[in-house]
Amino acid sequence: MSKRVFIFREPSTKITLHAEYMHVKNIYYDKVIALRHIEMVYLSKSIEISMATCYELSTHVPLYIIDNHGYILAELKCIKDA
């Protein structure tokens, strides 16, 4: 299965991160997505998410914060010691 890019723009989106998957829920859908199937994630700046969750997600996949027009505001990368 190929990896997919996920874009979350709905402000009511709640993201719960687990060891091998993330649970994404808002008023339109309720999804469980395996982290191994994600290429990158784009999150709207209006979504409430903790820094701990952002950091943990960035250790698995590239994470981008976008504005209402889809422009990238921030890129989160986990830098690991060599």
Domain positions in the chain are 4-76
Alpha carbon distance 80, 45 (integer Å): 25
Average pLDDT, integer, range 51-70: 93
pTM comes to 0.88
How many of the other CB atoms lie within 10 Å of CB of 42?
Answer: 16
Token pair listed for 10: 């709905």
Q: What pLDDT was estimated at residue 2?
A: 87
CATH number 3.100.10.20 is the correct assignment for the domain at 4-76: yes
CA dist 5 and 43 (Å) reads 11
pLDDT confidence band for 27 (50 / 70 / 90): very high
Give the Cα separation of 9 and 45 in Å (integer).
Answer: 8
Mean pLDDT along residues 46-57: 93
| The amino acid at 18 | H
Under 8 Å between Cβ of 42 and 18:
no
pLDDT band at 79 (very low <50, low <70, confident <90, very high): low
